[in-house]
């Protein structure tokens, strides 16, 4: 049995569909199940370089690169409404970057590796120091 609801706006127009899983994930965080894609969204190039898909959630990036609490706090204070790495890069760049653009933030350099239409698809993250 699938639990779905139609989401309507203030005028009664259809805005979309929401599932029970969507609501629960908003409350408790991501839930992995047999229907979720387990695609690898990053690749560790070496100790200081990673290649991430733009859609990677910021909280996952923090875990993958082993951010210290104060560094994660710097990201959280600067991210605005962004929840993904691409969204964060857009926030800190102040505009839409081009392929090859380098955006500096604290001890990190974000290099745009791939764009798809008006979407940041791949980002190389360089750590300018070891996070240990």
pLDDT at 43 over 70: yes
- pTM summary value: 0.68
Region 72-83 average pLDDT: 91
Lowest-pLDDT choice from 23-27, 36-40, 53-57, 112-116? 36-40
Pairing of strands 14-19, 4-8: antiparallel
Residue 2 to residue 19: CA distance in whole angstroms: 8
Phi, psi for residue 8 in degrees, rounded to 5: -120, 155
Q: What is the pLDDT of residues 46-72, one digit of tens each?
A: 999 999 999 999 999 999 999 888 888
Give the pLDDT score at 74: 92
Lowest-pLDDT choice from 5-9, 33-37, 98-102? 33-37
Domains and CATH numbers, the chain: 1-38 (3.90.1280.20), 42-127 (3.30.465.10)
Burial label for 14, CB within 10 Å (0-12, 13-18, 19+), is exposed
Region 93-119 average pLDDT: 94
Region 110-122 average pLDDT: 94
Closest CA to 93 of 80, 104, 77, 81: 104
Give the pLDDT score at 131: 47
Residue 91 to residue 39: CA distance in whole angstroms: 26
- Spell 84-94 as b/e; 16+ CB within 10 A means b: bbbbbbbbbbe
């Amino acid at each position: 049995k699938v639990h779905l609801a139609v989401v309507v706006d203030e005028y009664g127009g259809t805005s979309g569909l929401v599932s029970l899983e969507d609501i629960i994930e908003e409350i408790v965080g991501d839930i992995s199940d047999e229907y979720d894609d387990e695609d690898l969204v990053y690749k560790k190039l070496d100790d200081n370089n990673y290649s991430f898909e733009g859609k990677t959630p910021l909280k996952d990036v923090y875990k993958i690169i082993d951010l210290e609490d104060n560094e994660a706090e710097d990201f959280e204070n600067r991210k605005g409404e962004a929840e993904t790495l691409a969204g964060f890069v857009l926030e800190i760049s102040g505009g839409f970057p081009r392929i090859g653009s380098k955006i500096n933030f604290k001890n990190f350099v974000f290099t745009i590796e791939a764009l798809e239409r008006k979407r940041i698809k791949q980002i190389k993250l360089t750590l300018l120091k070891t996070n240990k």
